[in-house]
Amino acid sequence: MLKIRTMREHKGLTQKGLALKAKMSITYLCNVELGKVDPSLSTLRRLAKALKVKVVDLLDE
């Protein structure tokens, strides 16, 4: 499971805010957070950049 939701909430961002920063739809971001879809590496990079963290920080141990 990815830690995107945790990181997003820690940064004080809404799903809409993160989706806009990462240039993706809110629906897709929601599905990623819920584990319904597996994001590509390029999507993880966009999310990490938007959250100002490393890609590895989004991955669960």
Q: Over 80: is that where the pLDDT of 53 sits?
A: yes
Give SS3 for 20. helix
pLDDT tens string 17-34: 999 999 999 999 999 999
User: Domain count of the chain?
Assistant: 1
CATH code of the domain covering residue 14: 1.10.260.40
CA distance 44 to 47: 5
Which residue range(s) make up the domain with 51?
Answer: 4-58
How much is the pTM? 0.91
Q: Residues 6 or more apart from 20 whose CB is under 8 A from it?
A: none
Specify the pLDDT at position 1: 66
